[in-house]
Amino acid sequence: MSDNSTKKQIILEAAARLFRDKGYSATSMRDLADAVQLKASSLYNHIASKEEILQTICFDNAHRFLAGMTEIEQLQVSATHKIEALIRLHIHIAKEDLTSVTAFNDEWRHLSEPHLGNFKSLRKSYESRFKAIIEAGIQAGELRPLHASVLLYTLFSSVRWLYDWFKPERSLSADMLESEIITILLNGMILK
């Protein structure tokens, strides 16, 4: 990796932390320059704008989720197993890059057109593909006959908190966390 690409990666990581902690709108180029110990004018040798950083964060993460979706869709397993694999995908991406995924989840609305529209299209594609897997599970009798959109957004909401809460140093191991989330989401909390 070249010095320039290494510096750009450091800038992206610092920006993701600032976007997470302060929000995109409240983060200035001066804040970012201070975080990476550069003069604000020197940042422009590595990036064109604050929005370029947000675009990179949003689209890189969107493509990670879509690549995972494509792999999972091609598996020759039941819809339930695909849903479990998608939940695991969300957990793994959260564990790998908590900061960037938090910015991706919370700050995408600040993209300008045409990037906002493109991002929404990617997001809608992912959601509709996930929903199709849920619907297939309902039709196959693997899942309760509930509204697929309610199930979809409940699953999304149920893993979104990870980005804010999970810290590798917590007493709950990452594997145990993943196992417990899967158990709760797929089997519920009530003893039968």
- Residue 3: pLDDT above 70? no
Q: CB–CB of 56/117 below 8 Å? A: no
Question: 128: phi > 0 → left, psi -120 to 50 → alpha, else beta; which?
Answer: alpha
CATH number at residue 175: 1.10.357.10
**Number of domains comprising the chain:** 2
User: What pLDDT does 6 receive?
Assistant: 85
**Is 118 a domain residue?**
yes
Clarify whether residues 160 and 175 are in a common domain: yes
Clarify whether residues 151 and 92 are in a common domain: yes
Find, among 155, 168, 163, 164, the residue nearest to 126 by Cα. Answer: 155
Clarify whether residues 12 and 61 are in a common domain: no
Clarify whether residues 31 and 113 are in a common domain: no
More confident residue, 105 or 1: 105
- Residue 192: pLDDT above 60? no
When pLDDT is averaged across residues 26-30 and rounded to a whole number, the result is 94
Q: At which of 26, 47, 68 does a domain end?
A: 47
Clarify whether residues 62 and 144 are in a common domain: yes
Q: CB–CB of 79/148 below 8 Å? A: no
Q: pTM here? A: 0.88
Clarify whether residues 114 and 149 are in a common domain: yes
Clarify whether residues 32 and 77 are in a common domain: no
Residues near 68 by Cβ (< 8 Å), separated by ≥ 6?
Answer: 86, 89, 93
Q: CB–CB of 62/104 below 8 Å? A: yes
Clarify whether residues 105 and 31 are in a common domain: no
pLDDT tens for each residue of 84-128: 999 999 998 888 887 788 888 889 999 999 999 999 999 999 999
State the residue range of the domain holding 19.
1-47
**Is 3 a domain residue?**
yes
Report residue 172's pLDDT band, with 50, 70 and 90 as the boundaries: confident
Clarify whether residues 163 and 73 are in a common domain: yes
pLDDT tens for each residue of 31-57: 999 999 998 888 888 999 999 999 999
CATH number at residue 16: 1.10.10.60
Clarify whether residues 63 and 149 are in a common domain: yes
**Is 192 a domain residue?**
no
pLDDT tens for each residue of 134-165: 999 999 999 999 999 999 999 999 888 887 77
Clarify whether residues 20 and 67 are in a common domain: no
User: What pLDDT does 2 receive?
Assistant: 63
Residues near 57 by Cβ (< 8 Å), separated by ≥ 6?
Answer: 12, 15, 16, 19, 100, 103, 104, 107
Find, among 6, 8, 7, the residue nearest to 52 by Cα. Answer: 8
User: What pLDDT does 103 receive?
Assistant: 82
User: What pLDDT does 160 receive?
Assistant: 84
Clarify whether residues 55 and 31 are in a common domain: no
Find, among 99, 117, 93, 2, the residue nearest to 53 by Cα. Answer: 99
